[in-house]
């Protein structure tokens, strides 16, 4: 499909009427085995000399539809789907790095990615330097002769910090380092890292792509060369492939991605401004604010500022009291669903980090992460306002 509006693409991407008897909704192919018509065809498909399917872990028409959809939305040549965001993240890493290699990654990001990089350091000798990713130059400063991967998460979890993707990717290109962007928070509605020069983009599709807090999945997109390397390497060996039933749910979620993101963007802008006015709130982190440290970069590389913000209510006790008093918003971890999800960060997702690591990541005791849903913004604001006391 040519470069249409994402509102149109999100609805039509992946649908193949000719291959599926005109079915307007991609069918769920549950088969783990696909029969061959004759010896020559079977051998050709099995040996990847001819397109086709033969075994569930290695390819499935429903999963294929999701992979084509994600590639199209992210402007990649190819896509790959996984059972979780972490399966996509580990596959990206193991496609690009091996023992003795070096990685540069943000000091503030999704904590399981931080812990994964520390884990491959301890277990496989892949060292990571954690840097201040809001300054692209810190990637350049951390490069070593054995650096193979720049990791970027922008906006980042939980402080919605922004990294200049084009700048980091350009530093990477001149140093022979591949740049991977976790685009979970922004989604292709707000930001397209491959167009900014990144080599691979990954998502936890559990979040906005699925969009309804009802599935766990991950995706990757990029050049055909890198994605096929991942497909025939990390994805095949570690086996984190997505189930066709889940791939279908992600496809269904993506149909309304643009509509949902438009609303997430506008609701979050309104809530961020409301929180700023409340005396119990000490700080609001939101890239849409003009005084956000990377507001200019966000404006340049993003279509909208996204559905995530963080607010500091001062103490852990105040954060706990707020979540206990919510009537409409949901006290839960995760993000990207249609419902507003709120969690105290230091006490939950970032509790696995040490106090020093939390402080380096800027995660204070009273920090709340808010994934602003698509409910009526006045209801969201009133609920949080009265829960703040």
When binding is defined by CB under 6 A, the residue of 108, 190, 204, 213 that contacts ligand PLP is 204
* Residue 335: CB minimum distance to ligand PLP, A: 6
- Residue 385 falls in the annotated catalytic set: no
Assign 3-class secondary structure to the chain: CCCCCHHHHHHHCCCCCHHHCCCCCCCCCCCCECCCCCHHHHHHHHCCCCCCCCEHHHCCHHHHHHHHHHHHHHCCCEEEEECCHHHHHHHHHHHHCCCCCEEEEECCCCHHHHHHHHHHHHHHCCEEEEECCCCCHHHHHHCCCCEEEEEEECCCCCCCCCCCHHHHHHHHHHHCCEEEEECCCCHHHHCCCCCCCCCEEEEECCCCCCCCCCCCCEEEEECHHHHHHHHHHHHHHHCCECCHHHHHHHHHHHHCHHHHHHHHHHHHHHHHHHHHHCCCCCEEECCCCCCCCCHHHHHHHCCCCCCEEEEECCCHHHHHHHHHCCCCCEECCCCCCCCCEEEECCCCCCCCCCHHHHHHCCCCCCEEEEECCCCCHHHHHHHHHHHHC
Our CB check for ligand PLP shows the closer of 218 and 244 to be 218
Our CB check for ligand PLP shows the closer of 185 and 305 to be 185
Tell me the window of 46-54, 178-186, 240-248, 283-291 that interacts with ligand PLP (CB under 6 A).
Answer: 178-186
Alpha-carbon distance 138 to 43, whole Å?
A: 50
* Residue 26: CB minimum distance to ligand PLP, A: 21
Out of 64, 101, 164, 182, the active site residue is 182
Q: Any contact of residue 61 with ligand PLP (CB under 6 A)?
A: no
Q: Which of residues 103-132 bind ligand PLP (CB under 6 A)?
A: 110, 112-113
Q: Any contact of residue 182 with ligand PLP (CB under 6 A)?
A: yes
Out of 207, 263, 358, 369, the active site residue is 207
Our CB check for ligand PLP shows the closer of 140 and 194 to be 194
Q: What is the largest CA-CA distance in the chain?
A: 74
When binding is defined by CB under 6 A, the residue of 59, 193, 211, 218 that contacts ligand PLP is 218
Q: Any contact of residue 213 with ligand PLP (CB under 6 A)?
A: no
* Residue 82: CB minimum distance to ligand PLP, A: 8
* Residue 91: CB minimum distance to ligand PLP, A: 12
Out of 4, 50, 57, 300, the active site residue is 57
* Residue 328: CB minimum distance to ligand PLP, A: 23
Q: Any contact of residue 183 with ligand PLP (CB under 6 A)?
A: no
Our CB check for ligand PLP shows the closer of 143 and 215 to be 215
- Residue 252 falls in the annotated catalytic set: no
Out of 110, 139, 189, 208, the active site residue is 110
- Residue 207 falls in the annotated catalytic set: yes
When binding is defined by CB under 6 A, the residue of 59, 85, 172, 304 that contacts ligand PLP is 85
User: In 3D, which of 62, 71, 12, 3 has the Cα closest to residue 32?
Assistant: 62
Q: Which of residues 145-164 bind ligand PLP (CB under 6 A)?
A: 153, 157
Count of residues of this chain found to bind ligand PLP when the rule CB under 6 A is applied: 17
- Residue 110 falls in the annotated catalytic set: yes
Our CB check for ligand PLP shows the closer of 202 and 377 to be 202
Q: Any contact of residue 207 with ligand PLP (CB under 6 A)?
A: yes
- In the sheet with 127-131, reading across from the earlier edge strand, the strands are 78-82, 218-222, 200-204, 178-182, 147-153, 102-106, 127-131
Interface residue list for ligand PLP (CB under 6 A): 84-86, 110, 112-113, 153, 157, 182, 184-185, 204, 206-207, 216, 218, 335
- Which positions are catalytic? 57, 110, 182, 207
């Amino acid at each position: 499909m040519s470069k249409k509006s994402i509102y149109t693409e999100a609805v039509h991407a992946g649908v193949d009427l000719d291959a599926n008897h005109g079915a307007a909704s991609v069918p769920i192919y549950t088969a783990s085995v696909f029969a061959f018509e004759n010896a020559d065809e079977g051998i050709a498909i099995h040996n990847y000399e001819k397109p086709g399917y033969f075994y569930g872990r290695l390819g499935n028409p429903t999963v294929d539809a999701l992979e084509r959809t994600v590639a199209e939305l992210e402007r990649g040549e190819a896509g790959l789907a996984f059972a979780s965001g972490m399966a996509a993240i580990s596959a990206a890493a193991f496609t690009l790095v091996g023992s003795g290699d070096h990685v540069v990654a943000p000091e503030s990001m999704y904590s399981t990615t931080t812990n994964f990089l520390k884990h491959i350091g301890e277990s496989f000798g892949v060292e990571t330097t954690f840097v201040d990713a809001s300054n692209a130059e810190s990637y350049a400063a951390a490069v070593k002769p054995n650096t193979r991967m720049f990791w970027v998460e922008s906006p980042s979890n939980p402080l919605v910090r922004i990294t200049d993707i084009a700048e980091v990717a350009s530093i990477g290109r001149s140093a022979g380092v591949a740049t991977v962007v976790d685009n979970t928070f922004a989604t292709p509605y707000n930001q397209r890292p491959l167009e900014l020069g990144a080599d691979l983009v990954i998502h936890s599709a559990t979040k906005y792509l699925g969009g309804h807090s009802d599935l766990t999945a991950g995706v990757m997109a990029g050049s055909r060369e890198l994605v096929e390397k991942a497909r025939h390497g990390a994805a095949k060996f570690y086996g984190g492939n997505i189930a066709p039933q889940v791939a279908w749910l992600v496809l269904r979620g993506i149909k309304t991605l643009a509509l949902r993101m438009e609303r997430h963007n506008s609701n979050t802008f309104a809530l961020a401004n409301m929180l700023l006015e409340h005396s119990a709130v000490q700080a609001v982190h939101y890239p849409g604010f003009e005084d956000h440290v990377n507001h200019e970069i966000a404006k340049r590389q993003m279509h909208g500022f996204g559905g995530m913000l963080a607010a500091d209510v001062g103490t852990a006790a105040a954060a706990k009291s707020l979540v206990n008093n919510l009537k409409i918003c949901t006290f839960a971890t995760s993000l990207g669903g249609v419902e507003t999800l709120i969690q105290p960060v230091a006490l939950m997702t970032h509790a696995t980090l040490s106090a020093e690591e939390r402080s380096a990541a800027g995660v204070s005791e009273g920090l709340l992460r808010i994934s602003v849903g698509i409910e009526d913004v006045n209801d969201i604001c009133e609920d949080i306002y009265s829960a703040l006391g």
